[in-house]
Structure 1
Amino acid sequence: MLALNVKTHLQAQTVAAMAVGHQHNHQGVSSAFETIYRKQGLVGLWRGVNGAVPRVMVGSAVQLATFASAKEWVEKLKWFKEGSWMVALAGGMISSVAVAVAMTPFDVVSTRLYNQPVDERGMGKHYRGFLDCFVQISRKEGILALYKGIGPAYLRLGPHTILSLLFWDELRKLTYRHQQHGV
């Protein structure tokens, strides 16, 4: 979580002609850590984490709940042979869409919190915290603004979700077989 603040600062950085939003102008990773710490203290390195923690909590909850439900649904429809790894693959694919939909608003809020300029006390100049940022985006830009970047978010979250759930399910089945039959 600590490195997310630095990562966001560096990813948002660009030349003045193309700059969008606040620019931090760090020279590299260590420079970013040093500058943030010097100007804002240890708290500055953790700024924005109140958006990242709910993101991970919601993402994990949605991932596990939708995977179990999607897998049951795919099994019920009998698209694939019972016990096939394709059932877990299909369940993971369905779950991956739900994860991207659930996590993207948290990504948008976290990015805004991490990247906002701060005053001399290290307080954000645009948002007071997670809820304030969420409300301001919704009111000023509309609820769909919370889904900016959902395509790239899916390209990052989708394969991770699909493969993690598929491998987890297959390893769980192997463990169960080994415990039951010693094979």
Structure 2
Amino acid sequence: MLAPCAGGEKRVKTHLQAQTLSSVAVGHQHNHESISGAFESIYRQHGVAGLWRGVTGAVPRVAVGSAAQLATFASAKDWVCEHQWFREGSWAAVLAGGMVSGVAVAVTMTPFDVVSTRLYNQPVDADGTGKLYRGFLDCVLQISSKEGLLGLYKGIGAVYLRLGPHTVLSLFFWDELRKMVQHQQPPGP
């Protein structure tokens, strides 16, 4: 249910979002002038591989998030119906399942978001090697050792504010469409 991420556009977005005035800058500044300039600069300096740097954090992010989303949605929806909070097939049961799923998605995806962002935004040397992290696992280990385990959960509130409503609405519409398709199909033998 979660949209897959692309490497180049995520990297450019991260560079541009981190960019600010030098007096208030935090982290590495890439100083791109525009979206197209960022793509061009990254491609010119590091080729196609440069556009995909950091994707090793993004791919597991989507896999883990999608797994958490679908597993918790079905379980939570069934649980609220079993406890008779809402009747089976009601929109309220779907909404409750989606809300629980949104929390699970935020909790499981945030560490991958943090790692992915760090990998995308790190400065690189002339041959394209990251100056701060050697890769996904090195990034996880450095964050955990220097910032503690909670360092992997930086921004979880913002992640939930983005993914919570997305998860609820996506699962609600998916469930409604599933019901419509089932209703349209002729009864089985």
**What TM-score range do you get, normalising by the shorter chain?**
over 0.9
Aligned positions of 1:73-88 closer than 5 A? 73-88=79-94
C-alpha deviation, 1:171, in angstroms:
1.0
Residue 61 of structure 2: aligned partner: 55
Aligned positions of 1:140-159 closer than 5 A? 140-159=146-165
Residue 44 of structure 2: aligned partner: 38
Aligned equivalent of 1:171, options 145, 166, 177: 177
Residue 27 of structure 1: aligned partner: 33
In the TM superposition, structure 1's runs of 4+ consecutive aligned residues that sit over 6 Å from their partners are none
Residue 135 of structure 1: aligned partner: 141
Cα distance in 2 between the residues matched to 1:28 and 1:108: 24
Aligned AA for 1:8? T
Deviations 1:60-98 (A, max 9, x none): 000000001101101111112332111100000001000
Question: What TM-score, normalized by structure 1, do the two folds share?
Answer: 0.97
Cα distance in 1 between the residues matched to 2:120 and 2:55: 8
Aligned equivalent of 1:108, options 114, 117, 129: 114
Aligned AA for 1:167? F
**Do structure 1's residue 70 and structure 2's residue 76 form an aligned pair?**
yes
Aligned AA for 1:95? S
Tell me, which stretches of 5 or more residues in structure 2 are unaligned? 1-5
Residue 3 of structure 2: aligned partner: none
RMSD of aligned alpha carbons: 0.8
Residue 17 of structure 2: aligned partner: 11
Cα distance in 1 between the residues matched to 2:87 and 2:74: 17
C-alpha deviation, 1:175, in angstroms:
0.9
Tell me, which stretches of 5 or more residues in structure 1 are unaligned? none
C-alpha deviation, 1:39, in angstroms:
1.1
Question: What TM-score, normalized by structure 2, do the two folds share?
Answer: 0.94
Q: How many residues align?
A: 181
Cα distance in 2 between the residues matched to 1:178 and 1:79: 28
Cα distance in 2 between the residues matched to 1:19 and 1:56: 29
Cα distance in 2 between the residues matched to 1:41 and 1:128: 19
Cα distance in 1 between the residues matched to 2:65 and 2:172: 17
Cα distance in 1 between the residues matched to 2:166 and 2:56: 23
